Amino acid sequence: MTRFSTDGQTATGRPLFKDKPKKKQADRASDTPSAVQLGVHGRYQIKSGRLSGEYVARAFPKPPTNARGMIAEATGATEEAAIAALHDVIDAREAQRHEDRRVDDGTGFTVPSIEEYREALDQVALSRPQHAMLKALAMSGDQGLSDSQMARAAGYKSRSSANRAFSAAGLLIATYLAVDSVSEAAEDEVAGATMLGFRDSLQQDQTLGNRILYPELREVLRAAG
């Protein structure tokens, strides 16, 4: 008759029901990225989190945008410290940009830098006719275009439509760059237009001078192709 043992041992003497050693859970690596937090500072989107063992905060163009790439970066002992440091970097960057602006001798307007125009054009939503008009003005150089030429270049049926679109483009850029183009505009100029350029002296067959873009804006538009 077969006998059953209840001593819980095998023939070799090893405990039969001994608990198997539990697998140690892998410690969470200190460099495991944490969940990315999103925020906003000025006109930039802030992304922050832990990366490679340190807290990092980065600024990017705020969507929707055609721009790509990181604007600025900062690190800190905590996520909050990294974000605060990034805010300081952005504020210093903006202050330097303001210092780089020049005052146009003819209009007295504070003209943004090439970098500011480039960033603004990547961000604001201009229509195809507005793009076409600005590109034509950029290619015209110091000679500029008359209101009729601007209208034809953009496909507008009237000069007034072209001027309204030109002004609207200027206001979009001014709003993005936080430039007060209204108070700085000449009394006989539409709001927003001074943000982009000026009118030259009248020709014999003109009631208004040609529109000419600022050199900074012309350079950005020409480089964009």
Same domain (yes/no): 89, 120: no
Phi/psi at 177 (5° precision): -85, 0
Q: Do 129 and 205 belong together in one domain?
A: yes
Residue 14 in any domain: the answer is: no
Average pLDDT, the chain: 82
Query: Does any domain span residue 17?
Result: no
pLDDT the model gives residue 8: 46
In a domain, 175, yes or no: yes
In a domain, 143, yes or no: yes
Instruction: State the first-to-last Cα distance of the chain, in angstroms, to the nearest integer.
Output: 97
Q: Comparing 127 with 204, which gets the higher pLDDT?
A: 127
Neighbour tally for 190: CB within 10 Å = 16
Domain span at residue 164?
111-224
Tally of domains within the chain: 2
Per DSSP bridges, beta strands 102-103 and 54-61 are: unpaired
Asked whether residue 88 falls in the same domain as residue 56, the answer is yes
Q: Which of 47, 69, 98 is the C-terminal boundary of a domain?
A: 98
Query: Are 122 and 188 found together in one domain?
Result: yes
Please give the C-alpha separations between residue 39 and each of 32, 47, 49, 87, in angstroms, as whole numbers. Answer: 21, 6, 11, 11
Asked whether residue 42 is assigned to any structural domain, the reply reads: yes
> Using DSSP, how many helices (H) and how many strands (E) does the chain show?
6, 8
DSSP category for residue 9: B
- Same domain membership, residue 125 and residue 90: no
Q: Is residue 10 part of a domain?
A: no
Of 98, 121, 142, the domain-final residue = 98
Q: Are residues 41 and 91 in the same domain?
A: yes
Confirm whether 128 is domain-assigned: yes
Q: Where does a domain end: 98, 124, 151?
A: 98
Q: Which stretches does DSSP call E strand in 8-119?
A: 37-41, 44-51, 54-61, 72-76, 102-103, 110-111
Kindly state whether residues 172 and 219 are assigned to the same domain.
Answer: yes
- Single-letter amino acid code for the residue at 111: V
- For the full predicted model, state whether its pTM sits above 0.85: no
> Do residues 49 and 33 touch, judged by C-beta distance below 8 A?
yes
Q: Retrieve residue 162's tokens.
A: 């072209």
Tens digit of each residue's pLDDT (9 = 90 or more) over 17-53: 455 555 544 444 445 556 778 899 988 899 999 988 8
